[in-house]
Amino acid sequence: MPVVHLADGDLHYQLDGPSDAPVLLLSNSLGTDLGMWDTQMTAFTEHFRVLRYDTRGHGQSLVGEGFYSIEQLGRDVLALLDQLNIRQASFCGLSMGGLIGQWLGIHAGERLDKLVLSNTAARIASDEVWNSRIDTVLQGGQQAMSDLRDASIARWFTAEFAAAQAAQANRITAMLAATTAQGYAANCAAVRDADFREQLGAIKVPTLIVCGTADAVTTPEHGRFMQQHIAGAQLIELHAAHLSNVEAGEAFTQAVVDFLQQ
């Protein structure tokens, strides 16, 4: 299993595609692992050297002590790039991955070629929402994670997609049930504490913002706010709920490829 060694544990990654192609780094949402990008891989690896990884607390990566921060998760990405000797990459992150992308754009823009911020916001939900979820999963353990999986289908996918593509929806939500309660809670705290509304203007790399028209978590309005504060940012809206890369897979993939190849 390919890993990079951080100070407090191992970060699991996967690298696919032509060795001489430009690097595209993909960052998953809260409660999923690098498999959430499977829909994109055939097309992406035609054009890019695709680097996926499990965010700490997810998948096969470390579950560190205490709560995390988006800065910590961003520095994990920089450590991943450094240990793989990748000087610069394009970055595509969804939801929590989009928060990591914003931090990188603000604090390490020289490491980015282009930036895709999908189904995300400069500030996601309220402290009350996150504190309630943290308490629930820490008290309920893995049973609470299973309960959360069932509730997440309606947030992550439209009802028509969940019905028509039940196997795909179940494959993705199973990742949430498999996430440890500690790892999930630690990342909830990172999302809770992130607020880049006053810092978006520091992002200077070319940026594409992807929104889902049926996304009740990070709405198109959140996307337009980011577009207004990131100079030159482009924005597209896809018919999808929160996981637009899964629900609107072909349209999402083509939009990202077109943007990265501009």
For residues 123 and 217, is the Cβ–Cβ distance under 8 A? no
Q: Quote the DSSP letter at residue 40.
A: H
Q: Quote the DSSP letter at residue 199.
A: T
Mean pLDDT of the chain: 97
Dump strand ranges (E) for the chain. Answer: 3-6, 9-16, 23-27, 49-53, 89-94, 112-118, 207-212, 234-238
Report pLDDT for 200.
98
pLDDT tens-digit series, residues 96-154: 999 999 999 999 999 999 999 999 999 999 999 999 999 999 999 999 999 998 888 99
pLDDT tens-digit series, residues 177-199: 999 999 999 999 999 999 999 99
Provide the domain limits for residue 195.
Answer: 3-260
Residues written for the chain? 262
Taking the C-alpha atoms of residue 9 and residue 36, their distance in angstroms, rounded to an integer, is 23
CATH code at 251? 3.40.50.1820
Give this prediction's pTM. Answer: 0.98
The tally of CA atoms less than 13 A away on the side-chain side of residue 261 is: 11
Report pLDDT for 65.
86
CA-based max dimension of the chain: 48
pLDDT tens-digit series, residues 20-42: 999 999 999 999 999 999 999 99
Number of domains in the chain: 1
Report pLDDT for 150.
84
